[in-house]
A = this chain, B = another copy of it.
Amino acid sequence: MTDLTIKRLNASQSDFDSALAKLLAWDDSVDHQVNESVRHILHEVKTRGDRAVLEFTEKFDRLSVGSVAELEMDNARLQQSLKAIPEDQRVALEQAAERVRDYHERQNQKSWQYEDADGTVLGQKVTPLDRAGLYVPGGKAAYPSSVLMNAIPAKVAGVGEVIMVVPTPDGVVNGMVLAAAAIAGVDRVFTIGGAQAVGALAYGTDTIPSVDKIVGPGNIFVATAKREVFGVVGIDMIAGPSEILVISDGKTDPDWIAMDLFSQAEHDEQAQSILISPDGAFLDAVEASIKRLLPTMERADIIRTSMADRAALIQVSDLKEAADVSNRVAPEHLELSVEDPEAMLEDIRHAGAIFMGRYTAEALGDYCAGPNHVLPTSGTARFSSPLGVYDFQKRSSLIGFSAVGADRMGRVASVLARGEGLTAHARSAEYRIKGGES
């Protein structure tokens, strides 16, 4: 048994609101020095292009080459990685990719238009981005699943070119990441990373084309750089630490639930795992499982710190109250480990992904269920969505007035424009009124 204290809360305690707020509090204040350093790197890449990219790659990744072109990995190299990895990994990646592609194809949006009684055409034209950049971390946090989850929606959306950047510090390459890039259909790969890679994708250099949007996870330098270039290009969300919230009716094997909580906790020390149940004895049982299983875990140290600092077992009066608490958390991952998860769905208002029923381990969603594993963290599920095909498409409004429509609506626009004191607007509309003269 492990010596580990996990926070215990009860929704009926008088200070529950503030205890919950304290549990969820997460300091994402920006480090001033990181900011300065990132701004410097971005400025250099913006003004000196390839030269700056080479210098920073030599400095940070200890990789010395004569030109950025030498840092590009061609498709043959990707295919070679795909052949080189163990067959069970290749098959698993291909099966995962197929399910991810199948799910995301259902997110594809179509253009539409209609004509009103005056013959006026209105509509919405959907177009994919011309070019997307995908950041993939190198080193210890190299996740091939992340390549699939970021690249496939872009390809399904019809993005013209997907450009991946992945640092290879000291020349160390992750074969499974390259294999995933081959399977996902990534168009070009550059082995660069950090803020310099974000800068190169945002501003473009002689060798690296500028993109319209940059997606994918990264360390604090990458996240800060993405925040800085936002506006020049689009970005996906800036992710906080990963979280899971499990609601259980107390009838799932406690070991299963303990392991589900571990699967978040093992990501990093700041990850958050919360279990909510109306069954106090079940919370005890899961706590016992946690203590028994923890010493058997490969990443026990990370899990222990995460569980001690940020986990909680919360008792509620019923499943309805469990849903209420969950809505206040707006978790990234929500497991409904209950008899009838469909019945609970209506009460769930905010969650990145909802895992329904005892068999639906969150880990399945991370890899191969089909839906994306890039999800809103830190309560941002209140207003944002999983990464999807819609993140790689944009809409243009279509407006085509007939002469009749322009006459009729020109009068309305004229009144409103004059009401706002914008007379050029008014006169522009009035020209299109029959016999109109401004």
Contact = CB atoms under 8 A, between A and B. Distances in A.
A368 B431 contact: no
Contacts of A402: 359
B383 A92 contact: no
Contact of A428 (B106, B362, B370, B429): B362
B413 A367 contact: yes
A423 B212 contact: no
Contact of A383 (B378, B394, B420): B394
A403 interface: yes
Contacts of A89: 415-416, 419
A438 interface: yes
Interface stretch (A50-58, A163-171, A344-352): A344-352
B419 A176 contact: yes
B299 A413 contact: no
B299 A144 contact: no
A214 B428 CA distance: 32
Contacts of A352: 396-397
Interface string A117-129: 0001110110101
Contact of A92 (B114, B416, B432): B416
Copy number in the complex reads 2
B397 A263 contact: no
A350 B125 CA distance: 10
Interface residues of A, number: 119
A94 to B, nearest CB: 10
Interface in A39-65: none
Given A367-B412, A368-B413, A394-B383, A425 B263 contact: yes
Given A92-B415, A349-B130, A381-B394, A356 B410 contact: no
Given A106-B112, A144-B416, A259-B438, 14 more contacts: A92-B415, A124-B371, A127-B349, A234-B380, A265-B424, A342-B400, A353-B397, A354-B396, A355-B399, A355-B400, A360-B399, A365-B397, A367-B416, A382-B394
Interface of A: 28, 88-89, 91-93, 95-96, 99, 103, 106-107, 112, 114, 120-122, 124-125, 127, 129-130, 142-145, 176, 212-213, 231, 233-234, 238, 253, 255-256, 259-260, 262-263, 265-267, 297-299, 303, 341-342, 345, 348-357, 359-372, 375-376, 378, 380-386, 388, 390, 394-403, 405-406, 409-410, 412-413, 415-417, 419-429, 431-432, 438
16 contacts: A88-B415, A89-B415, A106-B124, A212-B382, A231-B238, A233-B383, A259-B424, A297-B424, A356-B400, A359-B401, A360-B400, A361-B401, A361-B429, A363-B425, A364-B406, A386-B397
